[in-house]
A and B are shown apart, each in its own frame.
Chain A
Amino acid sequence: MSPLLDVKDLVKHYGVGQGLLGRLFGAPPRKVQALNGVSLHVGAGETLGLIGESGCGKSTLGRAILRLHEPDSGSVTFGGVDVTALDTGGLKAMRRRMQIIFQNPYASLNPRKPVGEILAQPLRLHRLAEGAALRERVREMLEHVGLRAAHADRYPHQFSGGQRQRIGIARALILNPEFVVCDEPVSALDVSVQAQIIDLLARLKRELGLTYLFISHDIAVIGYVSDRVAVMYLGEIVENGPARAVLRRPYHPYTRALMSAVPRVDRADQQQERVRLHGDLPSPMDPPPGCRFHTRCGFATDLCRSVAPLRRQLEEDRMVACHHFPEPAP
């Protein structure tokens, strides 16, 4: 069965200002390599958890898939349609099917519009409902995300962070999309509220048959919501596979480092090896040659410093991009 979403070799580089001196002396244009050939797929009804440090390109990937950032090259196929090739009209129709939920619920709602209006606008824009039917749909959606119909007349600033995130979710789902990018939807919220929002997202997924790309830097959250997991480092996917397998038995040294950083209470072997990362995330403007992770990897060899590892397809739908793990590449 072909996946609902299939991303192939997606590349996105951002030009960075060179400054006056750079231009005078003809310095080569500098680029931030936000996405460097990212491939992944998400099956219908599945949640793919995307995990990685701040600045590794997670959000850029989510937005490039929706063409909120125009990718430089590569393809995004959604339900058999090449999204990257769509014209304006085709893209507008496609936007009904693919939506996004943002991290910061304080920046994602227009402060000048009452909530009912925020929810009604997408419907009006796509001419899906008007008049009484529109109000009914807004009311229904508000109740669906655990708010009250009376909330429609209030402004975003009159709500708490968790409530605002519910509004953001209602707004994304009101067009009945099939696929939603959840871009760190709980990291700006209090921990107690996080659980509520995660449960809400899980319930809505069951009830509406949604497919999620769930972006987070929180491994506990990713482990809870994901069917499959992809690990991102400096604009590349270094490992992916079924959530249980990747999180329980990580192959890539980077994934191992991430996993060993999660504190656990349910393990008898508390003395598990702690894989430490040294140094900071290298600048995506000037990524290291060879394997991008070699500057922080305890297992790096000369091979890693010079040759970029291939993506190796392993058992049960697993991929890892490393010269040495799980066993040396042939």
Chain B
Amino acid sequence: MRSVALLQRLLHLVPVLFGVTVIVFLMMSLTPGDPAEIMLANQNATPEQVASLRHDMGLDRSLPTRFVTFVGHAVQGEFGLSLFHRRPVAAVIAERLPATIELSAAALLFALFMAIPLGVVAAVHRGGILDRLATVGSLFGVSLPGFWFGILLLLAFAVNLRLLPVSGAIDFAHQPPGLTGFLVIDSVLAGRMDSLGNALAHLLLPAITLGLPMAAILMRVTRASMLEVLRQDYITFAEAKGLGRTRILALHALKNALLPTVTVAAIETGSLLGGNMVVETVFGWPGLGRLVVESIFVRNYPLVQAAVLLYAVTYVLVNFVADMLYTVLNPRVRM
């Protein structure tokens, strides 16, 4: 019963991914600008040279032909060459992916560590000063655009106070030996404390910028569901049987209240992907988000297509995992 439902969910991936592929392909083709001309822009190329490059890249063929070719290759895991790097798209993306995953994970951790305690405290002391501050603060959290808030943080902590680095993921001198591509993990594996500190210092501001809207939303969800749970009679009973206040909150209330938080956190994790493009651009973060932005500007079709496909797969998978998690956490869904 359960595995059938799981299989159905997985099958949903197919039409979703096909739709995404069509849309990405069409949009990239409809945007003005020709990659061959952009590549040769500063080289005084003759029209014949441009036409020859277009032919090499397959751009002179009809749109449907190109689409069929693309899909045919994609299902075999073949995404072609990145037009500018002259290397396989998959390799270029794989190189940038760890930095993005690292940043997203840090943002997620920041959001959870901010949101859950604040949400609980706000609910327990409903109407109190902390509750009001947290509620108003969360409004700011969702409203502040990342590019602006990130620049403010940079101005304050990197430019004026000079406490944190301005951009990048690590300073060259502290670069740990690359094993996994994840700077934090590599630093720990290599036992390089200097690298770890440097990597974390670079990570701090982008992670806060990326995680803030998520923290704000999760705080509100936690607060609301905590308020809901605290009104239930089983909480009153826990008190009637003689359980202390702290243990009631931790053992009975929070466990039940976290269900919606987990669901929303999973959905929001998908949206971190979009936020990554903005934040990585602001902080010069060497991740996938910035690579995609750069590739869009130069009409690097194969790379953008592959990256967006990757985003779509990730998004659907994250939601799939969220559903799974929900059945584990909620005995009412588990049968």
Contacts and interface: CB of A to CB of B under 8 A. Distances in A.
A107 B231 CA distance: 9
B234 A100 contact: no
A125 B243 contact: yes
B174 to A, nearest CB: 46
A96 interface: yes
Given A111-B331, A125-B242, A171 B237 contact: yes
A100 B256 contact: no
Contacts of B236: 63, 68, 100, 102, 108
Contacts of A121: 241
Given A95-B242, A96-B242, A126-B242, A112 B237 contact: no
B58 interface: no
Contact of B239 (A68, A96, A102, A108): A68
B252 interface: yes
Contacts of B332: 111, 155, 157
Contact of A110 (B127, B234, B239, B330): B234
A43 interface: no
A99 B240 contact: yes
Interface string A162-179: 000000000110010000
A93 B330 CA distance: 33
Nearest to A102: B233
B232 A175 contact: no
A19 B234 CA distance: 31
A112 B242 CA distance: 20
A16 to B, nearest CB: 11
B87 interface: no
B233 A104 contact: yes
A330 interface: no
Contacts of B127: 17
A108 B331 contact: no
Given A108-B233, A111-B332, A157-B332, A100 B240 contact: yes
Nearest to A69: B236
Given A111-B331, A125-B242, A102 B237 contact: yes
A114 B332 CA distance: 11
B162 interface: no
Interface string A214-227: 00000000000000
B66 interface: no
B247 to A, nearest CB: 9
Interface string B219-257: 000000000000011101111111110000000100110
Contact of A122 (B234, B241, B330, B331): B241
Contact of B331 (A92, A102, A155): A155
Contacts, number: 63
B241 A125 contact: yes
A155 B232 CA distance: 17
Nearest to A154: B331
Contact of B233 (A17, A92, A107, A125): A107
Most chain B beta-carbon contacts within 10 A, residue among A91, A110, A121, A122: A110
A108 B240 contact: no
Nearest to B236: A68
B239 to A, nearest CB: 6
B11 to A, nearest CB: 29
Contacts of A104: 233
A122 B234 CA distance: 12
Nearest to B256: A112
Contacts of A108: 232-234, 236-237
A126 B241 CA distance: 9
A175 to B, nearest CB: 7
A68 B331 contact: no
Given A110-B252, A111-B256, A112-B331, A95 B241 contact: yes
A112 B250 CA distance: 13
A50 B127 CA distance: 33
Nearest to A155: B331
A48 interface: no
B243 to A, nearest CB: 6
Contacts of A322: none
Contacts of A93: 242
A66 interface: yes
B295 to A, nearest CB: 47
Nearest to B253: A110
Contacts of A98: 240
Given A95-B240, A121-B241, A112 B255 contact: yes
Given A17-B127, A155-B332, A157-B332, A66 B233 contact: no
Nearest to A110: B234
16 contacts: A68-B236, A91-B242, A99-B240, A100-B236, A104-B233, A108-B234, A108-B236, A108-B237, A111-B331, A112-B255, A125-B241, A155-B331, A155-B332, A171-B237, A172-B237, A175-B241
Interface of B: 127, 232-234, 236-244, 252, 255-256, 330-332
Interface of A: 17, 63, 66, 68, 88, 91-93, 95-96, 98-100, 102-104, 107-112, 114, 121-122, 125-126, 155, 157, 171-172, 175
The 9 closest A-B pairs by CB, nearest first: A108-B233, A95-B242, A92-B242, A102-B233, A122-B241, A155-B331, A110-B234, A157-B332, A107-B232
Given A68-B240, A99-B241, A112-B256, 18 more contacts: A17-B127, A68-B239, A91-B242, A93-B242, A98-B240, A99-B240, A102-B233, A108-B237, A110-B234, A111-B330, A112-B330, A114-B331, A122-B242, A125-B241, A157-B331, A171-B237, A171-B241, A172-B237
